[in-house]
Amino acid sequence: MKKNLNHQVTNIEISGIRQFFNLVSNKKDIISLTIGQPDFPTPEHIKQAAKHAINMNYTTYTHNAGITPLRQAVAMYMEEKYNLTYRSEDEVIVTVGASQAIDITLRTILTEGDEVILPGPIYPGYEPLITLTGAKTVFVDTTTSGFKLTKELLRQHISPKTKCLILPYPSNPTGVSYTKKELSELVEELKQRNIFILSDEIYSELNYEGKHYSIARFEEIKDKTIVINGLSKSHAMTGWRIGFLLAPRWLSEHILKVHQYNVSCATSISQYAALEALTNGKNDAIYMRNEYRSRRDYVYDRLTKMGLEVTKPDGAFYFFPKLALGTMSSFELGIKLLEEAKLALVPGDAFSKHGQGYMRLSYAYDRETLEKGLDRLENFIQKK
């Protein structure tokens, strides 16, 4: 019967991040700096709002796109934070995390044979979703351009089959982001082409070098841009599974159809928690962002003193240092770190072939854990 399975499903694999996390989860005395999850609890007032929703029996289906007050709050939040204007009634969809928002977008816009441009190294969650639609992934090597997609690189990889560009920033795994000027150069190329832009901005509130600038602010491409955001990183709500999708009405009405048949609606209890987060907790991320910035500076100082080649992140909570591999792959180095240093980092090749030679280090951990982990890394390097 196995041969009767959907071949697109059998051709994809479990995320390299999860593969490695699962590999180390049962090992003892390991310091893991692998998972990109806030180490802060969800703010108390948000948890109380969820409890209140349960007590009030707000436990039924909601509008497919989300409860009206939450969609209004999303629209107001995005306008206040990022100067983005979307109609809450028909241009905002509340999703089951940013991951589902990405999935339903790609299933709406892609058909078999289409091409999607991804700047690598990149989060591994996009390629399998593209594959499931029958489309093809086209990776762009950004390792020589500061891990940023440039107009020249973009132009080199566009073909008549190009349907979409995915632009995630601040980036997982590198932490780099884009300035208004850098985005404007990409827009100059994109505005003259029939290409969708899927802008994954889930780390927008964790930007340390200035205010986050959304590519959707460029009016000349807004009509073909889909913005993905959510509360997992900004409000330490990964398990609540609330994301936001913002797109022009002509496009969102079709994405909503896919969303409707996929999940009906996001969890009602989580929606009321999200409403509290975006109103009374709209600045909850500030404290966490300041702490992450402090950790970033500490880790950057340690890594550079070790002599490692590393780009200082603009946001998110990752470093992507380059390590000497010799004849090893990044995955093999990851195993060696586990066995010899009792330290777990995510192999860079989990983020496409362009991550080969790098390792991802998450600093979404307390200072004591970071210090111990970096001590082990430094001892490992000194022994080589």
**CATH code for position 89:** 3.40.640.10
Q: Please identify, among 246, 279, 312, the residue that sits at the C-terminal boundary of a domain.
A: 279
Q: For residues 24 and 142, state if they share a domain.
A: no
Rounded Cα gap, residues 253 and 226, in angstroms:
12
pLDDT band at 248 (very low <50, low <70, confident <90, very high): very high
Of the candidates 80, 76, 78, the one whose C-alpha atom is nearest the C-alpha of residue 68 is: 76
Distance between CA atoms of residues 228 and 100, nearest Å = 10
Are 85 and 137 within one domain? yes
64 with 160, same domain: the answer is yes
Q: Which residue has the tokens 């827009």?
A: 187
Question: Is residue 54 assigned to a domain?
Answer: no
Tell me the residue type at 192: Q
Domain shared by 121 and 179, yes or no: yes
| pLDDT tier for residue 376 given thresholds of 50, 70 and 90 | very high
Domain count, the chain: 2
DSSP of 308-338: -B-PPPSBTTEE--B---TT--HHHHHHHII
Boundary-marking domain end, from 232, 255, 279: 279
| pLDDT (mean) for 53-61 | 98
H or E element: which one contains 301? helix 285-305
Mean local confidence (pLDDT), 261-266: 97
52 inside domain: no
Distance of alpha carbon 169 from alpha carbon 184, whole angstroms? 15
Domain assignment present for 53: no
Let me know whether 110 and 231 are in one domain.
Answer: yes
What is the pLDDT, as a whole number, of residue 12? 65
Q: pLDDT band at 220, cuts 50/70/90? A: very high
* DSSP secondary structure, 100-114, as one string: HHHHHHHHHH--TT-
Residue 373 lies in a domain: yes
Joined tokens for residue 157: 């990889």
Q: How many residues belong to the chain? A: 384
- State whether 23 and 127 are in the same domain: no
* Tokens standing for residue 56: 């009030």
pTM over 0.85: yes
Domain end point (choices 279, 311, 326): 279
The reported pLDDT for the residue numbered 374 is 98
pLDDT in tens, 127-161: 999 999 999 999 999 999 999 999 999 999 999 99
Does 114 map to a domain?
Answer: yes
Instruction: Please provide the average confidence, as pLDDT, over all residues in the chain.
Output: 95
Which domain does 82 fall in, by range?
A: 60-279
* Residue 356 CB coordination number (10 Å): 16
Q: Grade residue 113 by pLDDT with cuts at 50, 70 and 90.
A: very high
End-to-end CA distance of the chain: 49
Q: Which of 145, 211, 216 is nearest to 174 (CA)?
A: 145
Mean pLDDT of 57-73: 98
Q: Would you say residue 51 lies in a domain?
A: no
- Kindly tell me if the per-residue pLDDT of 9 is higher than 70: yes
